[in-house]
Amino acid sequence: SSAFQRTWVACSPESFFNENEWVWADSAYSSQTWCVVPFKKPTVGTLGHDQKRFNYHLSKVRVRSEHFYGSLKGCFQSLCELCFQIQNENDLEYANAWVRSCLILHNMIVKFEEELGLSTSMGEFARQYEMM
């Protein structure tokens, strides 16, 4: 998270988030109005019921997003490690276009598979996940 503090997102969050928008993060990050993190266990005592409940629901959201990224990288192995170095602005633009293309294709695959009945819908996935 110390490297994150030097990123454009951390230095200029208003460029990325409107009012009432935020990002979920793990406890390594600091809590900000735009960065929601789990409650940390106090050095003395325990978390309250509401804090434990919040952390539980936050962890479910984080697990689902981690599953998404795992699925995305499973479909597009090139996202696990780009085969070129980013050395200039053109390289960065190329990498950005590559990642966006993979995201678009992934979303199209999910949509087409759902329409053809070849995969579980996202709503069904969410219901199955809730039962776990």
Question: What's the CA gap between 8 and 119, in Å, rounded?
Answer: 38
User: What pLDDT shows up at residue 120?
Assistant: 58
Looking at residue 132, its pLDDT comes to 44
CB atoms within 10 A of CB 120: 13
Is it the case that residue 126 has pLDDT exceeding 90? no
Tens digit of each residue's pLDDT (9 = 90 or more) over 8-20: 988 999 999 998 8
Amino acid at 84: F
* Domain layout of the chain by residue ranges: 1-37, 45-131
